[in-house]
Amino acid sequence: MINDAHNDGQFRVQHVAVLIETESSWGGRVIRGIARFAEKHTHWHLLIDPRDHEQRSAIPEGWHGDGVIARITSRTQWQQVREKGLPVVNVDDVFQGLRGVGTVITDESERARLGLEHLVARGFRKFAYFAPPSNRYSKNRGEAFTHAVGELGYECHEYLPGYRAGRKIGWEEQQRRVNRWLASLPRPVAILAVDAHHARQLAEICHFGGVRIPDDMAILAGDTDELLCEVSTPPLSSISVACERLGHEAAAMLQRMMAGEDPPKEPVLIAPHGVVSRQSTDVLAIDDQTVVRALRYIRTHAHHGIVVEDILREIPISRRSLEIQFRAYLGRSPAEEIRRVRLERGRELLGRRELSITEIALACGFSNATRFGVAFRKSFGTTPRAFRKTLIAD
């Protein structure tokens, strides 16, 4: 192997293979987190997304390195990685319990909680999960969501088309199967799709089948791909996964393993940022028009520092009646809903490194960063600054 020792002899460049796809938004952001860690903390040469002659993720035969960070999605890929005898960190949960491998993955329970919180806040009480059989993702995401729905006392309708992962299904047959499933669902229903790709596929099938989004069915993507979510018709709401932080933590774990540490026995779980709200869930599945009007007013103006009296000036209802109706439909008061909407926006903005805490506080409708910090800590049990550190790789 080429010796990359520095002239002063104090360090050697280490070679790390990164078997993560670059063509997806998720993969690109995870790789960015790895690269930023390497730039700041190590002396690594990164082999990014190597492919074999069939364009499959694969380590080149002549490559001699020190460690691997991979999204392991097939037994063939795992066998090849294992044969290298190097420290390995896996950033996916398709294959679990791999012996001697470190694991850094998204916290599926927290993803489910955030998604369900977003949908319940819009008045939905009927839910479904869309994930056609595939070897590209595990069952954990669906199991976490259906469990979270069940914990609230509701039923989750899963898409179960009756064929195994790996079977090739034509476009027309896929349309028929999904349309049959959609026709069986209660309405209005909120659907979590396993990822942005399948959320967009579902939106297209709904369009051709005459299903109105979000009026008949709201769609929430399980992760965020900016291009797919923004160009979809309608634009798709999505759960924003902390990909950069995931990559950063995977790189930090690999560095420790290359120094001789054993991999952690349990996966390191990375919580998502929050939900990016777009048109596909921009609906209120509530049959009380007064509550709907009040909620729409809150979502439009919460970031402008409104209070409950501002709502009452817009809507002819007594404060007591509004309180009763909010608690009946949402389980919280109008003031609590205003604060929830502000903090949901704040949690999303904390993932944007270019904004200061003060700028975020003002953008959410708080008068200053101190008030924002007190409300944030009361709601989430941590400070905005500490929460940001869990999202953004330093």
Q: Which domains does the chain have, with CATH numbers?
A: 14-106+243-273 (3.40.50.2300), 108-240+275-281 (3.40.50.2300), 289-391 (1.10.10.60)
pLDDT at 3: 41
Question: What global pTM score does this model have?
Answer: 0.83
Condensed to tens digits (0 to 9), the pLDDT of residues 205-232 reads 999 899 999 989 999 999 989 899 999 9
What is each CA distance from 194 to 145, 238, 338, in whole angstroms?
10, 10, 30
DSSP assignment string, 88-130: EEE--SSS---TT-EEEEE-HHHHHHHHHHHHHTTT---EEEE
Residue pair 190/119 in contact (Cβ under 8 Å)? The answer is yes
| C-beta neighbour count of 28 within 10 angstroms | 17
Sheet hosting strand 268-270, strand order edge to edge:
44-48, 14-19, 67-70, 88-90, 102-106, 268-270
| C-beta neighbour count of 330 within 10 angstroms | 19
Residue 233 backbone phi and psi in degrees, to 5: -115, 110
Q: Which of the residues in the chain have pLDDT under 50? A: 1-9
Sign of CA dihedral 139, 143, 146, 148: negative
Q: Give the whole-angstrom CA distance, residue 62 versus residue 254.
A: 22
Q: Each residue of 350-366: b (16+ CB within 10 Å) or e?
A: bbeeeeebeebbbebbb
**For residue 60, which of 9, 17, 25, 92 has the smallest C-alpha distance?**
17
Residue pair 388/350 in contact (Cβ under 8 Å)? The answer is yes
pLDDT at 53: 72
**For residue 278, which of 364, 196, 167, 393 has the smallest C-alpha distance?**
196
pLDDT at 2: 41
Assign residue 372 a region: left if phi > 0, alpha if psi is -120 to 50, beta otherwise? alpha
pLDDT at 8: 43
326: tokens are 């909010």
Q: Peptide bond preceding 161: is omega within 30 degrees of 0, i.e. cis?
A: no
Q: Each residue of 88-109: b (16+ CB within 10 Å) or e?
A: bbbbbbbbeeeeebbbbbbbbb
Q: Give the whole-angstrom CA distance, residue 219 versus residue 67.
A: 39
Assign residue 210 a region: left if phi > 0, alpha if psi is -120 to 50, beta otherwise? left
